[in-house]
Amino acid sequence: MKKFAALALTTVAALAVSAFSTQAADYKIGLSNGWVGSEWRTQMIEQAQAAAAAWKEKGVNVEVVVQSANVDVPGQIAHVRNFISEGVNAIIINPNSPTAFDPVFAQAKEAGILVISTDAEVSSPDATYVGIDQKAWGAAGAKWLAETLGGKGNVVAINGVAGHPANEMRVAGYKEVFGQYPDIKIVNEVNANWDQAQGQQAMQNLLATNPDINGVWVQDGMAAGAWKSIIDAKKQSSIAATGEIRKDFIDLWVKDKLNSGASVNPPGVMASALNVAVLMLEGKELKEPATAGQYKNAMYLPIPFIDGKNVDQVAKELDGKPGYFSYTSQLSIADAEALFK
């Protein structure tokens, strides 16, 4: 995913707050995003804002307050403390750490504030995770790659931000899968920080040092860049690589008939979390408690998968969208209601 100006996201947030400020909100929900390094995050926030607006048609006013900036873990903890001070009803966070928020989430619970994490799981017993299983996300692409290679070959991996909880779970997912194929060898692993330009450079370096690569496991945000280097090296017919959820890459995939497959982390995960949060605030009870995941507090959402069988259909669905737009899905209000008693 390409970098974008923080100002753009700040403007979006300001507009959203302004739009809701003239309405008497039944619920105020704080959205915390601790990294603004991609259009995916912009789309995530925008879809959450649209989900909040959709509740008005059901007679529920929802005000969203956005804290979005490139911050370290202490900076994002400050987001949460700001929301507690504002007296929000719920906090939805895309967290920069799986464990560091336990004390501040306990403070939020003590203040009567619902806490939901999305996109990355958290260890706090005072929070619920609503999002995809990131380990399963990584495993799905690895499974496709292993089967495409016939269970043997040299593979390289281009990972995201080292230490980020979602990245670490994805890495665990592909390593678990590749470990089941004794004839698949991971010859190199690098980090490219979910940045397309860094992904392109990383792939160029990997091709130079490992000319016998058969497969590439690469995360979205970097896949388009990696594939550009593969194409520049004229190796697209001999290398299979995981792909990208964005329209610009999907168009390239279809045009050049790339040998690719991609598990999708939908930007709509925060919108899904918001719809679940509103129903919880309304006093609804889940039919099945959120007890999945390593911390036993997760509600997992379906993970779409794109490969040669359905890429043309996905391209049609994205027709007319800007190049940076990511293929997405989310729990609608009706979908979320169906999860509750």
Q: Is the pLDDT of residue 15 over 70?
A: no
Helices 39-54 and 269-281 sit at what angle, rounded to 10 degrees? Answer: 30
The confidence score (pLDDT) of residue 38 equals: 81
The confidence score (pLDDT) of residue 25 equals: 65
In the predicted model, what is the mean pLDDT of residues 309-321?
97
Residue 277 corresponds to which tokens in the numbers above? 């949060």
The confidence score (pLDDT) of residue 172 equals: 97
| Count of structural domains within the chain | 2
Collect all residues with Cβ–Cβ distance below 8 Å to 177 and sequence separation of at least 6: 138, 139, 142, 143, 146
Q: Is the pLDDT of residue 20 over 50?
A: no
Q: What's the Cα-to-Cα distance from 9 to each of 51, 67, 189, 190, 194, rounded to whole Å? A: 17, 10, 32, 29, 18
10 and 125 share a domain?
yes
Residue 98 corresponds to which tokens in the numbers above? 């799986």
Q: What is the pLDDT of residues 137-176, one digit of tens each?
A: 999 999 999 999 999 999 999 999 999 889 999 999 999 9
Q: What is the pLDDT of residues 41-67, one digit of tens each?
A: 999 999 999 999 999 999 999 999 999
Whether residue 315 lies inside any domain: the answer is no
CATH number at 155 reads 3.40.50.2300
62 and 163 share a domain?
no
The confidence score (pLDDT) of residue 203 equals: 98
170 and 22 share a domain?
no
Whether residue 255 lies inside any domain: the answer is yes
Per-residue confidence at 309, pLDDT binned at 50, 70, 90?
very high
Whether residue 95 lies inside any domain: the answer is yes
Average pLDDT value for the chain: 92
73 and 179 share a domain?
no
The confidence score (pLDDT) of residue 16 equals: 40
Q: What is the pLDDT of residues 267-289, one digit of tens each?
A: 999 999 999 999 999 999 999 99
In whole angstroms, what is the distance from residue 1 CA to residue 36 CA? Answer: 11
96 and 140 share a domain?
no
In whole angstroms, what is the distance from residue 113 CA to residue 55 CA? Answer: 20
The confidence score (pLDDT) of residue 296 equals: 98
45 and 68 share a domain?
yes
Collapsing DSSP states into helix, strand and coil, what is residue 182?
coil
212 and 149 share a domain?
yes
Enumerate long-range contacts of 277-280, CB under 8 Å, 24 or more apart.
277/29, 277/90, 277/92, 277/114, 277/116, 278/27, 278/29, 278/55, 278/60, 278/62, 278/90, 279/336, 279/337, 279/339, 279/340, 280/90, 280/114
Give the domain extent around 280: 6-132+266-303+327-337
Helices 102-110 and 73-86 sit at what angle, rounded to 10 degrees? Answer: 0
124 and 270 share a domain?
yes
Q: Is the pLDDT of residue 12 over 60?
A: no
CA angle (59 as vertex; 56, 62 as ends), nearest 5? 45
The confidence score (pLDDT) of residue 9 equals: 36
In whole angstroms, what is the distance from residue 163 CA to residue 263 CA? Answer: 21
Q: What's the Cα-to-Cα distance from 234 to each of 87, 192, 228, 336, rounded to whole Å? A: 57, 22, 10, 46
Residue 333: closest CA among 267, 277, 266: 277
In the predicted model, what is the mean pLDDT of residues 230-247?
96
Contact between residue 159 and residue 170 where contact means Cβ atoms under 8 Å apart: yes
Residue 107 corresponds to which tokens in the numbers above? 């403070």
Q: Is the pLDDT of residue 256 over 80?
A: yes
For the chain, percent of residues with pLDDT exceeding 90: 88
The confidence score (pLDDT) of residue 72 equals: 92
> Residue 104: enclosing H or E segment and its boundaries?
helix 102-110
Contact between residue 195 and residue 37 where contact means Cβ atoms under 8 Å apart: yes
Whether residue 312 lies inside any domain: the answer is no
Q: 158 has which bridge partners?
A: 190, 218
239 and 91 share a domain?
no
The confidence score (pLDDT) of residue 35 equals: 87
Collapsing DSSP states into helix, strand and coil, what is residue 229?
helix
In the chain, what is the greatest distance between 2 CA atoms, to the nearest angstrom?
A: 62
Q: Is the pLDDT of residue 4 over 70?
A: no
Query: In this structure, what are the phi and psi dihedrals at residue 331, rounded to the nearest 5 degrees?
Result: -75, 120
% helix / strand / coil in the chain, to the nearest 5? Answer: 45, 20, 40
13 and 60 share a domain?
yes
Whether residue 218 lies inside any domain: the answer is yes
Residue 64 corresponds to which tokens in the numbers above? 């969203």
Predicted TM-score (pTM) of the model is: 0.87
Burial letters 88-100, b for 16+ CB under 10 A, else e = bbbbbbbbbbbeb
141 and 242 share a domain?
yes
In the predicted model, what is the mean pLDDT of residues 92-108?
97
